[in-house]
Structure 1
């Protein structure tokens, strides 16, 4: 099945866009269901597999996992509110998934993890 839709929305306000798209949604959902696709949009949790226990993650992976911005994770690491490691002052951070889970549960830093 191939579906192409081209709509020029330049200069249109939100209400005009809704008026254009509203009649298309039921037909599109019906065609997707008929062809075997799910009409449910993938959520963030569905689109990415959760990391395995004891897996090392980058700061961007942690940010996506926690649902926050990468700069927030970097701030937590620099302020030592979350455990992470760098091989040098400008190297990327590596954070263990178990430490992320502890932070989320509110356990904080009790001791440094052995490398």
Structure 2
């Protein structure tokens, strides 16, 4: 199949050896990529690598700490991915547009920090009317 007057660049055995070398190199690259992806996944989960590789039944898990349903303006802003000023405006004026209806919050006294219940914040995010009745955080 060679063209007349042309010489071969590689012999068949050299081509086979090059193919084996390329296959080995690709296997190494794939192993490195898999190792890096596994590291990134473990970092994203914030789980130590030894816990992922060998789960230990002997180590007791601490009970989850109770999370208060009441949020500050800063926490609510981070939760909703809205600015703090947007939440203040929604609390002060009822912030009624075609997408949102009023946001309900609580202050213990005039000029004291606002507290917003997580359920009321969820309703506000979905654009539903605020809950009826009064919710007050425990002091």
* TM-score between both structures, scaled by the size of structure 1: 0.54
Native 8 Å contact 1:83 1:112 kept in 2: no
Aligned counterpart in structure 2 of residue 58 of structure 1, from 49, 55, 72: 72
CA distance in 2, matches of 1:86, 1:109: 16
User: 2:135 aligns to what?
Assistant: 114
Structure 2: gaps spanning 5 or more residues: 1-32, 47-66, 95-101
User: 2:40 aligns to what?
Assistant: 38
Aligned counterpart in structure 1 of residue 87 of structure 2, from 59, 73, 90: 73
Deviation at 1:106, TM superposition (A): 1.1
User: 1:89 aligns to what?
Assistant: 110
Deviation at 1:98, TM superposition (A): 0.2
Deviation at 1:33, TM superposition (A): 1.7
- CA radius of gyration, larger in: 2
* TM-score between both structures, scaled by the size of structure 2: 0.45
Native 8 Å contact 2:90 2:103 kept in 1: yes
1:104 aligns with 2:125: yes
- Equivalent pairs counted in the alignment come to 79
Larger relative contact order, structure 1 or 2 (CA cutoff 8 Å, min sep 6): 1
Structure 1: gaps spanning 5 or more residues: 1-29
Deviation >3 Å, runs of 4+: none
